[in-house]
Structure 1
Amino acid sequence: MPDTRISELVRKWIDGWVVSRGSSDPIDEPWGWTIDVGQPQHVARHVLPEPSEGDVRKIVAATSAPGTWLKLFAEDQVVLPWVGPGWRLDGPGFLMTRHLEPERTEVPAGYTLTSWTRSGLSRVLVRTRDGHFAARGQIAHVGDHIVVDQVESAAEHRRKGLGRLVMRTLQNTAYEAGARTGLLVGTPEGRALYSSLGWTVRSPMASLCYEPSDAARPQH
């Protein structure tokens, strides 16, 4: 029997992701949702919380635009045989959730932290004392939950507690705004940080992009 809870979580994640990225509203599909993103390398994405081989093959057969993405909440090795040539696997992702609580934060010596909220988005920026970028992250506020997005640290500033600082600052901002649940999709590298901060993996997510060679592109 399908896990309807995962579908609900995926929909909540989507609702925050479109706010965070400024994308179109999700379009309901029998298998999930389509989102128009409108970027050259990310034209649109199809999100399937409970992907089946039949649904994925139908979407693949109807796809001709490079930069179309599939977000399939299943293991990579399960869905990869369903897509065929022209589709690039972008590495595994993990849908994670956390109950939000106030967290103690401390800015490491040598860094400054700036945060602001505008139009449903809260952002955190960490820089060195002389203004160099060190880390950042943002959350989209959607009702009683938030979606964490675009958390990153500059390579030369990793393993200094900045990712933890960004996450805790964002979580505190969300809690103060009344949110009690957080959602995100993390990379394998991010998963370790988020797990250490109390986030729980709810589902794997396979991410694939349509990048056909010139010879394989449909002729019009």
Structure 2
Amino acid sequence: MPDTRTSELVRMWIDGWVVSRGTSDPIDEPWGWTIDVGQPNHVARHVLPEPSGNDVRKIASATSAPGTWLKLFAEDQAVLPWVGPGWRRDITGFLMACHLVPERPEMPAGYTLTSWTRGGVSRVLVRTGDGHFAARGQIAQAGTHAVVDQVETAAEHRRKGLGGLVMRTLQSTAYEAGAETGLLVGTPEGRALYSSLGWTMHSPMTSLWYEPSGAAR
């Protein structure tokens, strides 16, 4: 079950996520928020911090547009019975938060790091000595909190400390800009890394998208 801070943390996460992705402002709904994303396979998303069966059933039954997503902060097994045919499940996510502190990331040998900030989003790019992509990530600030997004390490460069390098660099950048709290929704694969860096898990997140049979992706 989500803790009592889930709704507050989800709203904080949304505030940074819309900056990171350049989406519409969130629209307040009785059950949460709707966000227009504007991508062919991700047209819009409905975010429910405390989903109920009635709300999810109403949204799911009223959805006819492929590329509509549901972000439900609850366990998969609790919410899957509430949606009908055409809804596909993505990997489970985990809402996590941490108190930001100054970081001193160490650069693994054989890699270089480039960072830049534009439009409220700070990005980190790690490359090999000959310029090949190795890892990346970004963080978007919204007031005193910042949202980590799109952290990725190339398969051939995993387990070399690059994920920690990216995260510590992003966290330090946000701290130096005045942010106090970090938020993210991580994958099962990333959860261990984030936990090792002091992040606390607050709620699982079930992610579903609508793709009826025969719909083009």
TM-score after normalising by structure 2: 0.97
- In structure 2, the residue matched to 1:218 is none
Matched letter for residue 123 of structure 1: R
- In structure 1, the residue matched to 2:175 is 175
RMSD value, Cα: 1.1
Counterpart secondary structure, 2:25 = coil
Aligned counterparts of 2:37 and 2:180: Cα–Cα separation in 1:
28
Aligned counterparts of 2:214 and 2:168: Cα–Cα separation in 1:
45
- In structure 2, the residue matched to 1:145 is 145
Asked if structure 1 preserves the Cα contact closer than 8 Å seen for 2:92 and 2:204, the reply is yes
Aligned counterparts of 2:81 and 2:99: Cα–Cα separation in 1:
36
Aligned counterparts of 1:103 and 1:20: Cα–Cα separation in 2:
22
Counterpart secondary structure, 2:113 = strand
Aligned counterparts of 1:133 and 1:214: Cα–Cα separation in 2:
36
Matched letter for residue 188 of structure 2: P
Aligned counterparts of 2:162 and 2:214: Cα–Cα separation in 1:
42
Shift of 1:84: 1.3
Aligned counterparts of 2:60 and 2:25: Cα–Cα separation in 1:
22
Counterpart secondary structure, 1:185 = strand
Aligned counterparts of 1:22 and 1:180: Cα–Cα separation in 2:
22
Report 1:17-166 matches (<5 A): 17-166=17-166
Aligned counterparts of 2:101 and 2:83: Cα–Cα separation in 1:
41
- In structure 1, the residue matched to 2:206 is 206
**Deviation >6 Å, runs of 4+:** none
Give aligned pairs, total: 214
Shift of 1:3: 5.3
Aligned counterparts of 1:161 and 1:85: Cα–Cα separation in 2:
42
Matched letter for residue 207 of structure 1: S
Shift of 1:90: 0.3
Structure 2, gaps ≥5 residues long: none
Counterpart secondary structure, 1:198 = coil
Aligned counterparts of 1:188 and 1:4: Cα–Cα separation in 2:
23
Counterpart secondary structure, 1:130 = coil
TM-score after normalising by structure 1: 0.95
Counterpart secondary structure, 1:152 = strand
Shift of 1:214: 2.7
Asked if structure 1 preserves the Cα contact closer than 8 Å seen for 2:137 and 2:148, the reply is yes
Shift of 1:85: 1.1
Counterpart secondary structure, 1:35 = strand
